[in-house]
Amino acid sequence: MSSDELRISRAEHKDRIERIRSLMRRRRIDALYLVNPTRILYATGFSHISTERPVALVIPREAGLFFMAPRLEYDHIREECQFADEVYTYPDYPGKTHPMRLFARFISDKGLASKLIATDSPDGAAGGYGYRGPSLKDLLSKAKFVDGRDIVDNLRLVKSSQEIRLLKESARWSEVAHDILLENAKSGVHDTLAAVKSSYEALAKMLRKLGQRYVQLRIALSPVVVGFRGQVGTGSAIPHAVYTKDKIRKGDVLVTEAGVEVAGYTAELERTVIVGKPSAKAKKYFEVMTQAQDAALHEFRPGIPCSRVDEAARKSVEASGLGDALRHHTGHGIGLDGHEPPWLDPGDRTIIRQGMVFSCEPGLYFPGYGGFRHSDTVEITKKRMGFITNYPRSLEELRI
C-alpha cells in the first residue's frame, strides 16, 4: 500500500490467497467455497451487498479462482476484483433454474464434483433476505464437504501493517467525530439529532481532507457514525440500547460510540460522558470503570491467554464491591468486523500474539441509573500493547 492509497494493496491480497492455498495443500483440500461477504472481501478485496441472490467465491487449490454470481454483479466483480479468472453468472433469483443448481453445474464443469471442498456454508449460500433453495451439499452428493471457516478466519486473527494503518486512520477520524459530537450534544437536544449532525460534519471534514484517497467498502448510509445510540440517562444502563424518546438532560450519564470505516476496517471508540456536574455516585462508578480498564490494559502482552485480560478487569471491579454491575466480557477482536475473534472472555484461551487487535471495554451497568463504559482499540506489540485510539479518558475531560 503506497502512501497515497487507503486500502489493502493488490500484493497483500495476492499473498493472502497464496497463504489460503498453502493451508489447503496441507489439509489436501481441493477447493475452498466461500459465501460470507467478509471472508470474500478479506481474500480478494471484492465487496458486495449480500441479498437473496447467492454469490460464491471458489478458490481451487491449483487452478485459478472463480466467482458464481447474479448477472447484476458481473461488471462489479470484473471492475473491482483483479483475481477472478472467470465469473459465472445466472439471470436472477429464484429463476427458472434455481441458482444453486447452476452453481452445482459450474462446479462440475470445473472438475470439482467429486473432490474435497472446504466451505463456510454447505448450503452454498449466505442465506439472507428470505433465501430458500436446495443444498449444494445435496446437489453434489459425490463431493465431500468440510468446515472451511477457519481457513480464512485464522489468518484474520493477526493484522498486517497495512491493516493496522487503516485501523489507525479510522481511529483518527473517530476521534475527530467524537470531538464534534461533544460540541453538538447539549441538554435539551435529542441524542439522534446530535448524532446525525455530528456524523455529517465529521464525514464532510474527512472527505475534504482525504479526497480521492478515501475508499468505502462496506454498505452504510454513512461511513462515519458517531452518537449515543439510545445510551442516554437511564438508557445508558442498557449496553446495546437502540433508541430513546428522551432528550439529553442535565445530570445524565451518556455512553458515546464512534466508528469510521476505512476500506472495510473500523476502529472502536466509546466514552462515558456526564452532562453537567457529576454526582458523587457518578464519580465513584466512573472511577471503578476506568480502574477496570486500566487493569485490563496493563495485562495485554503476547503469550498470555485472552481470558487473563478479562480476569484482570473482573477482579478490579469485584474488589470495589460492584461485581454485580458487570454485564459482558472485557472486549473482542476487531478489524473488518466490529466483533470478531478472539474474545476477552473467561472461556477463550486463545494465546495473544503480536499484531492482534482488540477492543478493551469493561462496563458497569446500574438499571434505573446509568452505564459506564470506555472502549479503546489496541494493538498487541512485541512486548505489550499500544493504543490505536487516542482520546481523553478522565472525567474532567468528558463533561458536557
Distance (Å, whole) CA 224 – CA 201: 9
- What's the CATH class of domain 161-387? alpha beta
- Integer angstrom CA distances of residue 57 from 35, 81, 150: 6, 11, 16
The pLDDT of residue 100 is 98
Give per-residue pLDDT as tens, 299-338.
Answer: 999 999 999 999 999 999 999 999 999 999 999 999 999 9
Give per-residue pLDDT as tens, 185-222.
Answer: 999 999 999 999 999 999 999 999 999 999 999 988 89
Give per-residue pLDDT as tens, 8-25.
Answer: 999 999 999 999 999 999
Distance linking the first and last C-alpha atoms of the chain: 40
With 50 as the cut, is the pLDDT of residue 98 above it? yes
Mean pLDDT of the chain: 96
Q: Which CATH number describes the domain made up of 10-155? A: 3.40.350.10
Q: Cβ distance 368 to 234 under 8 Å?
A: yes
CA atoms within 13 A on the CB side of 381: 10
Average pLDDT over residues 120-133: 95
Distance (Å, whole) CA 328 – CA 38: 25
Name the residue ranges covered by the structural domains of the chain: 10-155, 161-387
With 80 as the cut, is the pLDDT of residue 40 above it? yes
3-state helix, strand, coil in the chain (%, to 5): 35, 20, 40
Q: Please report which confidence band the pLDDT of residue 5 belongs to, taking 50, 70 and 90 as the band edges.
A: confident
